[in-house]
Structure 1
């Protein structure tokens, strides 16, 4: 493998040598730091981190300022060429056709040369980004700390971030567009049309293939914009960060047990299947138990309502163990599904509601999140966080599809009725039994007691004060604060959350509440609305909801790879809110004046679902960037609060369906869309009010 320092030297642009990252010097400094860190005290180690971070800041500043300077030079050259191409074909001073053709060739070569210089600049940026990542990785490895994630997070997410100037190359995109457009014009329509005017159509029009230099630039540009990849975009919604103790620990990388991590992800998938599998059949199940169809709202909503309670319990329990709460969670889900299935033969709506409540109490998403953050190696956290989001999206798709697949089930076993409504309870009850066996056999409990003792011993030691280290404070957060009063961690975390709930955080949480309310309202009343207006069967509704779920990953990919690299998150949030409002308004029924059609419903449902999904991704991405270190730890962290906000929104939406349904099916759609529109409009106005506080 070629040494990276020698690679830079071999591939640098002549004359730019001093503007590349000082890779050799930084390596030398890492070697010096590792010696001092091994021999020095904890206070000296903190000083080493602070000085090395400042050294990296200086290197980044040098790279960014040179990048901006060269970008300005290229823009100036393009401006000069633009003035040369602005001509009037009737101008007598243009000279002969021969001089015109000569000028054209000169302009083409000039644009190509700028393209080559831009390619050099893009490769310069890419090489320096690689160097920065390698240096951070080397520093972590040599000193046994986790500086990389915190350094990138604090620097990229600062409102005056210099790293963002590199990763968000809006100006570069404009330069590429100018070169590409002008080269195309010079070789086709504009110049060919003038030549045809002077030479009498002797030159045939041709379709000009894309310039090789433009292809090369776009290739390189794509590589750079991949810095904000789908993986990073989706993982940002995880809203948890490594604790300060993890950042400073000198122990080796966490021992990784793959089977336990995979079973943790499987739990997320099965739970989401369990949540959405009843949506297509819940109204018919309620009717079979001699209750109104609109009781389906309470049936669906009882699960998230119970989950708000279990989230707190399981979060606290996971401080001591993962396996035990996962086993209890699985047992509750088994009992819940069996209760849901037995409600039909026993003709009890209360047993149906009890089953859903038990399933909600079995919600282990708080454990799933915490396991990924604390028991997966740092190098794999981003991948597992993105997989967590993907597993949720997949479960949202498989749930309704499974209900449709079971639509033809109808038989008796020993006098016990099993049909398309209760079959999902039996199927998922069996699935959770298999999962329980896998947990008992394959899940390995991490060595948490040892970790907890280690953390307690670190907290017991008094550390240097934050003000002693200045620039290090944003990097290491509370790890350098003096020991706080002896209050319990959950109370301290709640107080910190209240203090940190500034306007941007309030806006983002409100957005999250709104999007969950709107999407839940759409999904939960889908069977009732389509059955009343279009006579859709539960099977048709299931496949439709499954198709909606399939849009989650593609829309996230489009936003992550393209939209979020071209526009600010706050602008995407505003447009997502506008689209959601349009979708909600489009879903109103104007009957009897205008017939409510399937096309109207499908389009409005698609707009609401996709826009809220896009909003969730961008909202959580911005949330992850803007939250302070205090909001990333403790019981009441932002991940927990956002989950609770979404869960409460779901429960309220489902409860409202049942409440409004008492007025009759004819009014259900509009009477549920009115509060949805009101909440969406208020959220839009609140976001607009604090627009410039979001960055």
Structure 2
């Protein structure tokens, strides 16, 4: 084991000595703060935090300015070398071309080595900053690390952005790679920048210096990709490169993961498969069509309770609760299908409630978080979210295909009303059989034993700072929480740990789930009343909206999130939702409610809420305190409960609004939705500068 301060002394570049982070001086200052903190007043605590933040800012400024200076010198060298290369290519003889290219290649490689040295300098300093922040929280006892990083990284004039985005270094790498590829292949034309990094067949792939540069840059940056962006929806913790993997590669059971993904797909399909026909089903049983809000809402309302039970049960088993939840879903769908022959509206409600009790998303999420190896976690969790979106689209589309069915099976009717129950009963039965044979209960390790024996530190400061190693990214989560960082052990602890940014973002999540549920749940009633759409038309329309989620997420991940700050996207997307809700209100007799008005407003609301959900969860994963990222009662659990409650309340409002009459349904449901959206915009604006 080597102390990090000793590591800096042993591996620093002598001529750059004055530009490294002042690690020893900062440690000494932390010890002084720790002595004062135990009996400090609130004003003194604020002074300590302000003073230390200023110290860090000055350290970061010195590092960043030196980094930019060195980048400029390397850029100047590359410019001169490019001029030399062009001159040589214009005048060289064919017999000396190979020798000249060889010398140019060596010069580009030499500049690449200098760039690699600069990247290692940045890596060492970012690791030092991460460790010193952790040490401050641990010794002084303040919650400072998350607030400091969040406020500095996302600030419009952030200096830390120079460290994490690495735009300048990326451009230098591109120049080196382009020219090495050109010279190595013997081509006189310039190759596309993207072709050099997208699995091309150019010789550059085998350049050791490019591989080394890409490896160093990867450790420092985390580009927002489609998979990482979508994976944020689960709020899974992002361990560092050398952090503990909770599941060994040999214990990564592929079929068990697939069954968890299929479970969430079937559950979401089960949730939305009744939307196109539930209002007609209710009327067939001699109750108002607006009671479809009660039918649909019974499922999320029951899921509020089951999520708590499954979160606790998954501490002991995954197989048993999955088995029970599947049986509940089968029973719920059976009752839904039998409501027609028994002429019972309560069969519908109880059946949907049983299906809600069978919702195993808490189990699915917990399994992925605890038993998928770190290197697979982003892709698997993104697949979980994609499966959920596809299930949302598949449910209404499947309902549209089942509308033409009309026959008897063992004396029971199979038609547009009962077919969703029978089909989901069959699918869950198949799932149950497969899971009984294919699902493997993972091996559970003692938490203390696991962390004690598997968490290692490459560098330890006087035996008290168990960091994850020199190559960990600055924002990596520590697998062994410091004192006061342990996961919340109860709902009350969970609420106490929530800070202002998290409160705002949870409100945003509640609002968007309320708005989109209102749109989807009343779509069948509204479209039939105003435009005489059939159930199949409603199903196909909702299915098309659901399929639009993935391309929208791709656009947001690849372009919007890499260009604009998350809080900017959140604020303007909320405004779009408000405009969509305003456009969706019926202004008759002033204006006639038209198909174009409904479809356009529905598209704006649906796509805006999905954009908002992705960006909101992305920002929530950044500002969330570390103790809220793990354990049974975590921020992911709280957001799931908030979204489920929003769905239940939205569906309940539809049924209450139906008492005012169909002609007033849009006004009675959209006005409260608009008030909620405007209140959320106000809260976002008030707390705008806390959302870093």
Instruction: Give the structure-1-normalised TM-score.
Output: 0.69
CA contact (8 A) 1:157 1:626 kept: no
Q: Corresponding residue for 1:426?
A: 422
Q: What is the aligned partner in structure 1 of residue 388 from structure 2?
A: 392
Please identify, of 292-301 and 474-483, the stretch whose mean Cα deviation from structure 2 is larger. 474-483
SS in 2 for 1:441: helix
After the TM superposition, which residues 211-226 of structure 1 pair with which residues of structure 2 at under 5 Å, given as runs? 216=193
Displacement of 1:131 in angstroms is 11
Question: 2:443 is matched with which residue?
Answer: 447
Partner of residue 332 from structure 2, selected from 324, 330, 336: 336
Cα deviation for residue 309 of structure 1 reads: 0.3
Q: Which residue of 1 aligns with 2:368?
A: 372
The equivalent of 1:546 in structure 2 is 543
Map 1:494-533 → 2, pairs under 5 A: 494-533=491-530
- Structure 1 residue 416, shift from structure 2 partner: 2.2
TM superposition shift of 1:586: 0.8
Aligned with 1:580 (options 564, 568, 577): 577
Secondary structure class of the residue paired with 1:228 = coil
1:638 aligns with 2:652: no
2:412 matched to which residue of 1? 416
**Aligned 8 A contact 1:512 1:642 in 2:** yes
Change (3 A) 1:374 1:59: farther
2:283 is aligned to 287
> Distance in 2 between the 1:156 and 1:125 partners?
28
Deviations 1:134-173 (A, max 9, x none): x99xxxxxxxxxxxxxxxx979964334664355468899
Q: Does 1:159 align with 2:136?
A: no
- Which residue of 2 is the match for residue 352 of structure 1? 348
Query: Which ranges of structure 2 fall in alignment gaps of 5 or more residues?
Result: 1-12, 17-56, 78-107, 128-144, 154-158, 173-187, 200-213, 455-459, 469-475
Tell me the CA shift for residue 217 of structure 1.
8.2
1:69 aligns with 2:66: no
Which residue number in structure 2 is paired with residue 269 of structure 1? 265
Deviation at 1:238?
A: 1.4
Corresponding residue to 1:317 among 313, 316, 334? 313
Q: Say whether 1:619 aligns with 2:616.
A: yes
Distance in 1 (CA, whole Å) between partners of 2:492 and 2:465 is 24
Maintained 8 Å contact 1:404/1:540: yes
| Mapped partners of 2:74, 2:190: distance in 1 | 15
**Deviation (angstroms), 1:252:** 5.1
Correspondence for 2:552 = 555
Structure 1 residue 537 corresponds to structure 2 residue 534: yes
Q: Distance in 1 between matches of 2:508 and 2:246?
A: 39
Counterpart CA distance in 2 for 1:76 and 1:539 is 65
Change (3 A) 1:168 1:645: same
Match of 1:297 in 2: 293
Separation in structure 2 between the aligned mates of residue 442 and residue 620 of structure 1, nearest angstrom: 32
CA distance in 2, matches of 1:671, 1:504: 31
Distance 1:468 1:58 in 2: 28
TM-score by length of 2: 0.70
User: Partner of 1:231 in structure 2?
Assistant: 227
Distance change >3 Å, CA 71–CA 296, structure 1 → 2: farther
User: 1:634 Cα deviation (Å)?
Assistant: 2.4
Does the aligned pair in 2 maintain the 1:493–1:637 contact within 8 Å? no
Counterparts of 2:357 and 2:663 in 1: how far apart (Å)? 34
Q: Shift in Å at residue 478 of structure 1?
A: 6.0
Q: Which moved more, 1:613-622 or 1:63-72?
A: 63-72
Match of 1:608 in 2: 605
Report the Cα offset of residue 590 of structure 1. 1.3
Q: 1:130 to 1:408 in 2, by over 3 A?
A: farther
Deviations 1:36-89 (A, max 9, x none): xxxxxxxxxxxxxxxxxxxxx999999855553367789999xxxxxxxxxxxx
Deviation at 1:241, TM superposition (A): 2.0
Distance 1:61 1:678, change over 3 A: same
**Equivalent residue for 1:188?**
none
Contact kept, 8 Å, 2:239 with 2:477, in 1: the verdict is no
Root-mean-square deviation (Å): 4.4
Residues 402 and 128 of structure 1: CA distance in aligned 2, closer, same or farther (over 3 Å)? farther
Deviation at 1:632, TM superposition (A): 1.1
**C-alpha distance in structure 1 between counterparts of 2:677 and 2:484, whole Å:** 43
Q: What is the rounded CA distance, in whole Å, between the counterparts of 1:669 and 1:431 in structure 2?
A: 35
Equivalent residue of 2:478, what SS?
helix
Task: Determine if contact 2:314/2:321 at 8 Å carries over to the other structure.
Answer: yes
Distance 1:682 1:213 in 2: 54
Residue equivalent to 2:650 = 653
Report the CA distance shift for 1:654/1:220 in structure 2 as closer, same or farther (over 3 A).
same
Partner of 1:481: 483
Q: Structure 2: how far apart are the matches of 1:378 and 1:130?
A: 27
Asked whether the 8 Å contact 1:477–1:629 carries over to 2, the reply is: no
Distance 1:382 1:155, change over 3 A: farther
Deviation at 1:481, TM superposition (A): 2.2
Query: Over residues 392-414 of structure 1, what are the superposed CA-to-partner deviations in whole Å (9 max), with x where a residue is unaligned?
Result: 00000000000000011112234
Q: Distance in 2 between matches of 1:518 and 1:280?
A: 18
Cα distance 1:157–1:549, how it changes in 2: closer, same or farther (>3 A)?
farther
Provide the rounded CA distance (Å) in 2 between the counterparts of 1:584 and 1:483.
Answer: 41
Residues 407 and 538, structure 1, Cα contact 8 Å, conserved in 2: yes
Q: 1:618 to 1:156 in 2, by over 3 A?
A: farther
Moved more, 322-331 or 222-231: 222-231
- The equivalent position to 1:592 in structure 2, one of 575, 589, 592, is 589
**Whole-Å separation in 1 of the counterparts to 2:117 and 2:402:** 52
Tell whether the 8 Å contact from 1:311 to 1:363 is kept in structure 2 after alignment: yes
Counterparts of residues 193-204 of structure 1 (less than 5 Å): none
Matched with 1:381 is 377
SS state at 1:536 partner? coil
- Residues 251 and 388 of structure 1: CA distance in aligned 2, closer, same or farther (over 3 Å): closer
Please state how far the C-alpha of 1:240 moved relative to its aligned partner: 2.8
Decide whether aligned partners of structure 1 residues 212 and 157 sit closer, same or farther in structure 2, where only a CA change above 3 A counts: farther
**Is the 2:485–2:626 Cα contact (8 Å) retained in structure 1?**
no
- Partner Cα separation in structure 1 for residue 485 and residue 556 of structure 2: 42
Cα offset, 1:455, TM superposition: 5.4
Are the structure 2 counterparts of residues 412 and 366 from structure 1 closer, same or farther at C-alpha, using a change threshold of 3 Å? Answer: same
Aligned twin of 2:663: 666
| Cα gap change, 1:250 to 1:443, in 2 (>3 Å) | closer
Q: CA deviation at 1:496?
A: 3.4
1-structure distance, mates of 2:74, 2:596: 50
Deviation at 1:250, TM superposition (A): 9.9
Give the 3 Å change call, closer, same or farther, for CA 300–252 of structure 1 in structure 2. closer
Distance 2:118 2:196 in 1: 15
Mapping of residues 237-248 of structure 1, within 5 Å: 237-241=233-237, 247=243
